[in-house]
């Protein structure tokens, strides 16, 4: 084996080592600047949203209230903005049907102006207080009142008739009872959960 052939092979070996080692090393160095899927981010609502007045495709902004860190490196500092949008709205209606509001989060903006696309959802879905208990009480109350009024009448089957009337009245009240709206109030705090990894720019905060 002549000198030039040996030199060429040694050079090729080191070149191959360099090409494979440097990207792997760089990936290890920058991996801490990645938000993993499932990361929970606590934020505060800017302007409130509500199933009564909000519409689909409306956008809103939130502010991070607790910085996100990894290995003592701040990834999302205070002042980071996360933008969300409303994907589905249903108004509250009669018969105790509750309002519905589904939102998603699609962008974050760091204090230095850097932006990143994200995919996030509410960690806890919005839900109004159930009105089933109120409806049941209305029906029971109407039935009881009808029975009392029926018993006070002179008819032999007055109590039975009164109970039937009261049951109908109670059911009517329950049907006319409107469900409750759902929403997030201004300055209310809640958690966002990422459903996809996000790679962030390397910054020193």
Q: Are residues 101 and 184 in the same domain?
A: yes
Q: Residue 119: which of 143, 87, 84, 151 has the closest Cα?
A: 84
> Is the domain of 147 the same as that of 97?
no
Residue 21 within a domain: no
Give the CATH number for residue 49: 2.40.128.260
CA distance 52 to 101: 9
**What are the pLDDT digits (tens) for 67-88?**
999 888 999 999 999 999 999 9
Angle in degrees, CA 172, 175, 181, rounded to 5: 150
Number of domains in the chain: 2
- Considering the domain architecture, whether residues 61 and 92 belong to the same structural domain is answered as yes
Kindly state whether residue 1 falls inside one of the protein's structural domains: no
Residues 109 and 193 in one domain: yes
Determine, yes or no, domain membership for 183: yes
Q: Residue 121 belongs to what domain range?
A: 36-128+179-199
Is 79 inside any structural domain?
Answer: yes
Lowest-confidence segment of 29-43, 67-81, 85-99, 164-178 by average pLDDT: 164-178
3-state helix, strand, coil in the chain (%, to 5): 35, 30, 35
How does pLDDT run across 107-142, given as a tens digit for each residue?
999 999 999 999 999 999 887 765 455 444 444 544
Q: Are residues 72 and 121 in the same domain?
A: yes
Q: How confident is the model at residue 9 (pLDDT cuts 50, 70, 90)?
A: low
108, part of any domain:
yes
188, 192, 198, 200 alpha-carbon torsion, rounded to 10°: 20
Give yes or no: residues 157 and 111 share one domain: no
Do 121 and 159 have their domain in common? no
Contact 41, 194 (CB under 8 A): yes
- 150 and 88 in a single domain? The answer is no
Q: Cα(125)–Cα(113) distance, rounded to whole angstroms?
A: 30
Do 106 and 192 fall within a single domain? Answer: yes
Q: From CA 49, how far away is CA 47, in angstroms rounded?
A: 7
Q: Could you report how far apart the first and last alpha carbons of the chain are, in Å?
A: 56
**Euclidean distance between CA atoms 98 and 90, whole angstroms:** 8
Query: Which three-class secondary structure state does DSSP give residue 68?
Result: strand
72 part of a folded domain: yes
**76 and 136 belong to one structural domain:** no
Same domain, 70 and 160: no
Tokens of 73: 């490196």
61 and 95 housed in the same domain: yes
Instruction: Answer whether 122's CB lies under 8 Å from 85's CB.
Output: no
């Amino acid at each position: 084996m002549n000198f030039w052939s040996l030199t060429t092979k040694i050079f090729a070996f080191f070149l191959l080592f360099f090409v494979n080692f440097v990207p792997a090393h760089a990936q290890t160095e920058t991996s801490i600047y990645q938000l993993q899927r499932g990361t929970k981010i606590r934020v505060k609502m800017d302007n409130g949203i509500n199933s009564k007045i909000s519409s689909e495709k409306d956008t809103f902004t939130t502010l991070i209230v607790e910085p996100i860190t990894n290995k003592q490196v701040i990834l999302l500092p205070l002042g980071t903005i996360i933008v969300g949008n409303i994907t589905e709205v249903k108004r509250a209606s009669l018969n105790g049907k509750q309002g519905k509001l589904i939102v998603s989060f699609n962008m974050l903006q760091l204090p230095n102006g850097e932006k990143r696309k994200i995919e996030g959802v509410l960690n806890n879905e919005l839900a109004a207080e159930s009105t089933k208990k109120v409806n049941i009480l209305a029906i029971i109350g109407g039935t009881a009142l009808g029975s009392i009024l029926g018993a006070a009448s002179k008819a032999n089957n007055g109590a039975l008739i009164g109970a039937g009337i009261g049951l109908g009245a109670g059911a009517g009240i329950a049907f006319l009872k409107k469900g409750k709206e759902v929403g997030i109030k201004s300055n209310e705090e809640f958690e966002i959960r990422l459903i996809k990894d996000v790679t962030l720019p390397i910054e020193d905060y």
